[in-house]
Chains A and B, each alone.
Chain A
Amino acid sequence: MPQLLLCNTSTTTNTLDHKLGIAPDTVTGVGCTNLGTLNAYRPYLATDKTPTAEDFAVLTQFSSAPVSKELTHLSLCYGADTTLALSEISDTLQKSGIGVMGAGTSIYGNRLASFTDAVKNYQGALLNYREVMKGGGASKVLAKQNVARTFGKMQIGFQHELHSVTGGIKASQKGTPFTNATRAMNIAKSSRTVVKLELNNQVQASQLARFGKSAKLLGNGLVVIDFASRVGNIQNSFDAGENWERELFIESSSFATSTVAGAIAIKAGLSLLMVATPVGWVGLIIGATVLSIGINNTVKNNAGDIYDEIMKGINTL
């Protein structure tokens, strides 16, 4: 698989050769080969062989301007490995969101949103630090403090999430930007303008493209994803010419009951004041989520029959 090249200032292919050891004639852009200059915030591929149709398909995924711009910033700020790992994690999170339903989720969704907020703030501080270090000026100390502050906030509040994020990163001795603020500042400070992302397979490429799209929107709350996947089920059965009203009944009734049950579980836990400790919270959220998922399944398994009975009843009237 090819390497994805991103830069934040126009770069000649000669510089590329010099900096990353990539031969000028291996670089491909959208719709052109053998170019002299790479434009800022555009995706390019470096391949050893002649680029195949598959390679061009990969490239097109990144060709939308907001996607490639966001990815360029993220990769320059976090380093290539971390960005790839992040994209994989956010993909897993979104996928698991489809399996996890109900009100338990919306609480976890909120926590997830605040985790992403913490990461976003940290990232914002790093980007700011990068700007300040490049331009100079009196606010260097301030920017550094800001990085340290946002880093601390992220570390204190979200140990568990950070652990799962960094677990997927091939860490060097110095750690990753998520475990070591100094390392993050060094990466951000370094005057790198080009970054090379090693794509191992097609899946990783599309994960990365989707991550670029959602990096800003990440953490919209999993309920939205949950709901969207349900609508997707209905759409599928409509497209397949099946009984989509039946599907609609199944999805909406199971959504309603599992949400009510999840909410009641949380309400009950709260009113017994069992959440005075963090352990109580975790137990409560897990409990409510398990209940929600279980009830969702129970209702789903039976809602189809109920729909059939109701329709039979209406037809005999």
Chain B
Amino acid sequence: MNMITILVGILIGLSVITGVLYVFFGQFTVRKLRKKPETKGSLGIEFASGWDILNVAEAFAMPKRATKKWKKSKLSAFFADVELLYKHTNKFDRVLGIVFYWVFTLTGSSAILIFILDTIDVFE
């Protein structure tokens, strides 16, 4: 097997893990938040259905400095309200969100990286 095949294999494995975590985090934490009237409207804009799961995970995973900056920006509606979410989630929810978000980010960015390397013929 050549290099690219192995890398794509790892990528597929990662995206399966991402998928499992996505569904689990969505069902376990975000479904709870969607039902609560206090948090229902603060999960950020949903581009495609299920996008709010990403918003919530991002709110937990990103450093406070970043989330504060987003909240002040014009685009604040696109992000979940992290302070409110903290009040309505427990530690497990947050850890799950953080793990999911970074696995998701790792998968996505390595896919992009592999694509770029493949495009400039690094694997030939």
Interface residues of chain A, those whose CB is within 8 Å of chain B, are: 103, 106-107, 109-110, 221, 223, 253, 256-258, 260-261, 263-267, 270-271, 273, 275-276, 291, 294-295, 298-299, 302-303, 305-306, 309
Contacts and interface: CB of A to CB of B under 8 A. Distances in A.
Interface of B: 1, 4-5, 8-9, 11-12, 15-16, 18-19, 47-48, 51, 54, 58, 62, 66, 69-70, 73-75, 78-79, 104-105, 107-109, 111-112, 114-115, 118-119
Contacts of B54: 263, 267
Contacts of B51: 263
Contact of B48 (A107, A265, A270): A107
Given A106-B47, A270-B78, A261 B112 contact: yes
A265 B19 CA distance: 17
A95 B43 CA distance: 34
Contacts of A299: 8, 11-12, 111
Given A253-B15, A276-B74, A305-B5, A266 B115 contact: no
B16 A256 contact: yes
A266 B47 contact: yes
B58 A271 contact: yes
B43 to A, nearest CB: 14
A256 B15 contact: yes
B48 A261 contact: no
B62 to A, nearest CB: 7
A106 B5 contact: no
7 contacts: A257-B107, A260-B111, A261-B112, A261-B115, A263-B54, A263-B108, A270-B75
